[in-house]
Amino acid sequence: MKGSEAIIESLKAAGVEVVFGLPGGMVIPLYDALYDSDLKHFLVRHEQGAAHMADGYARATGKVGVCIATSGPGATNLVTGIANAYMDSTPMVAITGQARSDLIGTDAFQEADITGITEPIVKHSYLIKNPKDIPRIFKEAFYIASTGRPGPVLIDIPADMQLADIDYKPAGKINLPGYKPTLKGHKKQIISAAKAIAAAEKPVFYAGGGIITAGAEKELLAIAKLMKIPVTTTLMGLGCFPEDNDLSLGMLGMHGTGYANYAVTHSDLLIGVGARFDDRVTGKLATFARHAKKIHIDMDPAEISKNVAIDIPIVGDAKDVLAGILAELKKMKREPKKTAAWTDQVIAWKKKHPLHYKDEKGSIMPQYVIEEINRITKSEAILCTDVGQHQMWSALFYKHIKPRHWVSSGGLGTMGFGFPAAIGAKVGCPDKTVIDVAGDGSFQMNIQELATAVCYNIPVVVCILNNGFLGMVRQWQELFWNKRYSETVIACQPDFAAVAEAYGALGITIDNKKDVGDAIRTAIKSKRPAVLDFRVKQEENVFPMVPAGKSIDEMIGGHKT
Amino acid sequence: MKHTLSVLVENKPGVLARVAGLFARRGFNINSLAVGITEDPDVSRMTITVDAEEHPIEQVTKQLHKLINVIKITDLDPERTVARELALIKVKSDTKSRAEVMQLAEIFRAQILDVSRKTITIEITGTYEKLDAFEQLLQPHGVVEIVRTGRIAIERGEK
Ligand SMILES: Cc1ncc(C[n+]2csc(CCOP(=O)(O)OP(=O)(O)O)c2C)c(N)n1
């Protein structure tokens, strides 16, 4: 069989059903084999879209997302999407065509050293030099992408490898002597963690995306309930703990809730799980959770004590480790009252410093749009976002109650991510309502994927919070740069509803608060790709906010006074 | 503090680039890096000396471990390690100073590889410190060119 057919067989063996991509000279053989296969291929309009779709698909489903691009410019167009997946630990396999192997290194037409270019942003990569290796390499790639701390794996395939005739044999057992992720937590450490939790008077869970990757939500909830421990999540962790639970503190960090940041600051035990003590979370390191003993549970040993010194480190799968801790706690004699004063205090903070915004007559407040989306979808939608103010409002004002219902670019903060990611999420979860909250700036970074959504009738609803600015940057300029709005006014704005209609999608412009709910309902009911252009208040800010370099309890704004 | 890491890696294309790239982008300082094959043709050994002033060595090794092709890392204990480096040094030397340079080489148990009218080329192996000391002594004669391999190291004893 041909190398290209072996690729299709290998994809099927890995359980792949859908791929996102765009062909070119160096992947024609692969696309030719795809033509006869029953893999579903989605043709994108820009390869960055393909990478983000694969990413969104992976986040929403938990499966590995797959994208394909041709060599050179096709491959380099994937780069932002690969980096994005790397920073947020999304399982992804990116397949790129490459110039014929005898031309590699000669600056051949459309040759780019994509394994070199992506080296710092992949979990691993391959350049196929022998077509016989195809089954093995694909098997390894999917295994590496989806196990341990997940991440993107790139496979670069010269055109002649796709054309070569091989004697196809399915891949044998995986043999990777240098890759052995630790799944089971160390028993002794688990016992120390359980003891520390039982002894704590002011414990807080700090839960990250790793909980969702591991599927450890139930274990987290069980420990939190058993020991009455409040839970704050990172941006990536939204949905891993139901925000309608009393013990939920929402998100922490730079734009975290006041009560989450106070709780962390005053805690005597911080239990970090699947979270990486990112600088957007910790603020000034020296004062972060300064009174707390720290437990850190993570799949990736390199994350432990990377930024913050840890007292009880546990390397392993969050589900396994939390289950172990829960079992230990159940064996112990507990004093359930021990944290009562603390939970009372936390609930008092929640009442005293709730999330808040000032509703202005005559304006559509961006926060209100998010609240409406939340009401109409009953907190059940898969909510995707781009990057900026609208992202933070979506994080704060939507109630996140389920895992894999929040798809947002955390680590890299990629404008242009949300819309293609929403398409990928909808492809993976056709029965769920998928909403993309976008900024007017961000949406224009991958607006061309409207064609993809329309072409395959993928009914995602884009809600643009149109403030006429690169809002988040404008907010920093307002607060810290004397309102010098250098290049953050988006002066030339298209009529987004008309653009949507031109692509064949539904487009609605909303200027009045009273029309917000109707527009959202209409768009969802239409079962078509839709763009809602909400003309929101222009100079609204995201609060609370911790200025860069400050301690997280030194927030500005956002308090009800 | 300088550390000597002995790193076993799969003998596959691109591994050296991955290791070197990791050091560069994480801001770890490499002092020297020497690579060669081992008794197992599928495995190469890298001896890497790093300055672990700003980044704890633990972080360096953990990040290295994340590379799929890295099989094993040992942070060699200087007390239990034999380490060597090789240098080739070309030094100015005419008929007048030739005897002195050759005498220095003898004291350091270095080998003369080549003599020309105006230069002598010397091979020396030893510890980093020994090579430095030798180089210092040759400086007044005028060192024309130095090539050093970087450190290679192996644990003492039966392991
Ligand atoms: C690709 C990319 N370029 C630049 C930035 C820097 N950046 C962060 S937020 C932001 C403004 C986003 O504006 P918009 O999408 O309109 O959203 P808003 O903040 O107004 O809600 C910019 C430019 C980025 N995150 N990503």
Burial label for B88, CB within 10 Å (0-12, 13-18, 19+), is middle
* Amino acid identity, position A370: I
Which letter does DSSP use for residue A449 in this model? G
Q: Which residues of B touch A144 (CB under 8 A)?
A: 68
In the stretch 50-69 of chain B, residues with CB closer than 8 A to chain A read 56, 58-59, 62-63, 65-69
Closest residue in chain B to residue A181, using alpha carbons only: B66
Ligand 1: which of A387, A533, A539 to mutate, most ligand atoms within 8 Å of CB? A387
In this predicted structure, what is the pLDDT of residue A558? 61
Q: Identify the residues whose C-beta falls under 6 Å from ligand 1.
A: A 386-390, 413-416, 439-442, 465, 467, 469-473
**pLDDT at A336 (0 to 100):** 64
pLDDT < 70 regions, chain B:
54
Looking at the predicted structure, is the pLDDT value of residue A559 above 60?
no
Any B CB within 8 A of A362 CB: no
- The position carrying tokens 């596959």 is B12
The verdict on a CB contact (< 8 Å) between A129 and B58 is no
Measured distance CA(A299)–CA(A274) in Å, rounded: 7
pLDDT tier for residue A370 given thresholds of 50, 70 and 90:
very high
pLDDT bin (cut points 50, 70, 90) of residue A561 is: very low
Mean pLDDT over A408-424 rounds to: 98
Strand ranges for A89-193 from DSSP E: 92-98, 124-127, 152-158
Across the interface, of A125, A178, A302, the residue whose CB is closest to B59 is A302
State the pLDDT at residue A250: 97
A306 in contact with chain B, both atoms CB, cutoff 8 A? yes
Closest CA to A277 of A244, A300, A248: A300
Tokens 């801790």 belong to residue: A325
pLDDT above 50: residue A99: yes
Token digits for A556? 């500005």
**pLDDT tens-digit profile of A132-189?**
999 999 999 999 999 999 999 999 999 999 999 999 999 999 999 999 999 999 999 9
Residues from chain A contacting residue B25 (CB–CB below 8 Å): 120
> Cβ distance A381 to A394 under 8 Å?
no
Mean pLDDT over all residues of chain A?
96
pTM, two decimals, is: 0.95
CB contact under 8 A, A301 and B62: yes
A174 touches chain B (CB under 8 A): no
CA of A255 to the centre of ligand 1 (A): 15
CA dihedral B131, B133, B139, B145 (to 10 degrees): 10
pLDDT tens digit string along A487-538? 999 989 999 999 999 999 999 999 999 999 999 999 999 999 999 999 999 9
Return d(Cα A111, Cα A103) in angstroms, integer.
Answer: 9
Say what the pLDDT of residue B13 is.
87
HEC sequence for A67-117: EEECCCHHHHHCHHHHHHHHHCCCCEEEEEEECCHHHCCCCCCCCCCHHHH
Which of A247-261, A301-315, A332-346 is least confident? A332-346
Q: How far apart are CA B136 and CA A415, in angstroms?
A: 56
**Interchain CB contact of A120 with B (< 8 Å):** yes
